[in-house]
Chains A and B, each alone.
Chain A
Amino acid sequence: MQAHLLQVDLPAAAAALFAALACALLGNFLVLRRQSLMSDAISHSLLPGVVLAFMVSGARTSGAMFLGAAIAAVVTVALVQFVRRRARLESGAAMGVVFSIMFAAGVVLIEQGPARNVDLDADCVLYGQLEHIMWLAAANPGALLDPAVWREAPRQVVTLAGVLAASAVAVALFWKELKISSFDPQLASALGFSPRAIDMGLMFFVGLVAVAAFEAVGSILVIAMFICPAAAARSTTERLGAQVAVSLAYAAVAALGGYTLAAFGPGWAGMDASLTASGAIATVSGLILAVAALARVRAAPGALAKT
């Protein structure tokens, strides 16, 4: 039981936590900049990049997959811009056109040639494989003190920790620019910050986080984690600094709470069932958002919505 906790639950919960924190951190700016749905588009259109990387490299190696997905993310952002301008569509429609074609290409490619032999299907793209992350070296609590055991920490967890750290550093470094350009893009460009450069930088990190997170937790949870904690935090506070802090707290609660519910909930209820952890985490983040939104409605009952 204890070994299972360390070898299976600990790394899976850590992966969920790091993914949730990284997504929620950047999600604050997506929500403020009305770009929430870009996380939907990017996380869907990673698929063909991943599948092509499989087909070219012939193996489920993290390097090739990371590269393929990252390229797909950049291509998505560029294509959405291109279709928006060239076909003069509103951004939602342009996103829909681009990501659905890319996702369709991905699901058809999966069934073809070498990719079919790799352990990859649409299910693991959607829900991730949180349950498959294992840290076999961590057989007992004592092993956690052994550096050799740490060197065998699961690849996904290490990647996610790295991406989380990189995003945190980037947000800290560009805090002022992100803040100004999110609240008032016109003022930002008047002050000499290029909103376009900030935009591309943010999208780059969104892509990076989505790529790192989606293999572990799946694209649906990636979207939920980008949007729900930040939206809930926005309903809780008006100040950006507080909003980011609150969103990280919400993300942590959702990740750990959702994982616990999925992993142990059925057992506590006496059922012989296993639930998908990423789905449960998304559901808990939705509950947090519902409570935060309800609290906001209660706090200002007389206010009329702006039309």
Chain B
Amino acid sequence: MLTGETLRLFVSSLFLQAGYNTVVVVLGVTALGLAAGLVGAFALLRKRAMMTDVLSHATLPGLAAAWLVATGLGASGRSLPVLLTGAAIAAIVAALTVQWLTRAARLPEDAAMGATLSVFFGLGAVLLSYIQTLRTGSEGGLARFILGQTATMSEQDAYVIATAAVVAIIVAVLLEKEFRIVCFDPQFGAAQGWPVALIDLLLMTIVVGVAVVGLQAVGMILIIALMIIPAATARLWTDRLRVMLALSSLFGAASAWIGASLSAALPKAPAGGLIVLVAGAFFIVSLAVAPSRIRASSAEAR
């Protein structure tokens, strides 16, 4: 609960006064929030909100398999790049599974997504329970990816997160026009000769990239929140795509900054939960006071 000491820790982290490692972690997570807000806005507009949830849950078996492989080869299961590579591969396999279930097996898309999410996560849980019985002493590292934990993040981890976030931001800014047409009217885009499937793939690639590097900070269960809630909040304030992208990045960054600072003060509470609650507070306040959606709906009534 809030004591004077937690409050002091929170404020000093918020204003980057809490020691070098905490500062780097808070800034790294903030870069992640910025990237998630930006990429998430496109995911929301492409109606892929729940797909981000599927992909992030699906990283669990990849993380566990990467740990097993790395440990089996005598390397450390704690290496972040190795674990995140496994996570990304699992997310890509999940995306292909959803596509195969809908296209080839003709299942409804929501059923394909829910089945993929739960089965991949279930498989990951089995692998995780197996790893836990090995008692190697280094297995504790994996659980942090489920709900997020900034306390265990090193400076190095923060740099990995920030670098990936910057790459995702650059890609999203460069391809804004392409993402815009595919999100608004993919048929028209295809008729003009744009490779819609390729552009979709690029979009999902940066979504996976941001989700994977965000696992440690936010956790796989709540990554969807950092992608979708800032975007939904931004949409309440504006009818302009560029403004929405900027606001969504801003809400994402602010949620991550404040949430990570809270997490530094409350190391036991999962960082993901704190960050999402801050993002949720922005959304709820915006829902109550933002003007744009109400005007839009009354104008549409004509």
Contacts and interface: CB of A to CB of B under 8 A. Distances in A.
Direct contact of A and B (CB under 8 A): yes
Interface of A: 31, 34-37, 39-40, 44, 83, 86-90, 92-93, 95-97, 100-101, 103-108, 111-113, 122-123, 126-127, 220-221, 223-224, 226-228, 230-231, 234-235, 262, 266, 272-276, 278-283, 285-286, 289, 293-294, 296-297, 305-306
Given A87-B236, A92-B47, A220-B125, A105 B110 contact: no
A149 B104 CA distance: 51
A55 to B, nearest CB: 12
Nearest to B131: A273
A18 to B, nearest CB: 18
Interface residues of B, number: 66
Contacts of A37: 50, 110, 113-114
A224 B120 CA distance: 10
B122 interface: yes
Contacts of A266: 130
A275 B53 contact: no
B204 to A, nearest CB: 15
Nearest to A85: B297
Given A97-B283, A108-B273, A235 B119 contact: no
Contacts, number: 221
Given A88-B293, A126-B146, A220 B235 contact: no
Given A223-B118, A282-B121, A296-B105, A96 B111 contact: no
B103 A107 contact: no
Contacts of B296: 88
Contacts of A92: 47, 49-50, 110
Contacts of B105: 235, 293-294, 296-297
A36 B225 contact: no
Contact of A220 (B121, B229, B273): B121
Interface in B204-237: 221-222, 224-225, 228-229, 232, 235-236
Given A34-B111, A97-B228, A281-B122, 15 more contacts: A89-B235, A96-B49, A100-B276, A103-B222, A103-B273, A104-B275, A107-B272, A122-B270, A126-B121, A223-B118, A226-B114, A228-B119, A235-B107, A273-B134, A274-B129
Q: Is the interface of A mostly helix, strand, loop or mixed?
A: helix
- Most A CB within 10 A of own CB, among B106, B110, B122, B268: B122
B166 interface: no
A279 B115 contact: no
A13 B6 CA distance: 45
Interface in B251-285: 266, 268-270, 272-277, 279-280, 283
Given A95-B50, A104-B276, A276 B268 contact: no
Contacts of A281: 122
Contacts of A286: 115, 118-120, 122-123
A303 B113 CA distance: 22
B269 A100 contact: no
Contact of B270 (A100, A107, A283): A107
Contacts of A123: 143
Given A96-B53, A275-B129, A289-B115, A282 B123 contact: yes
Contact of A279 (B103, B126, B272): B126
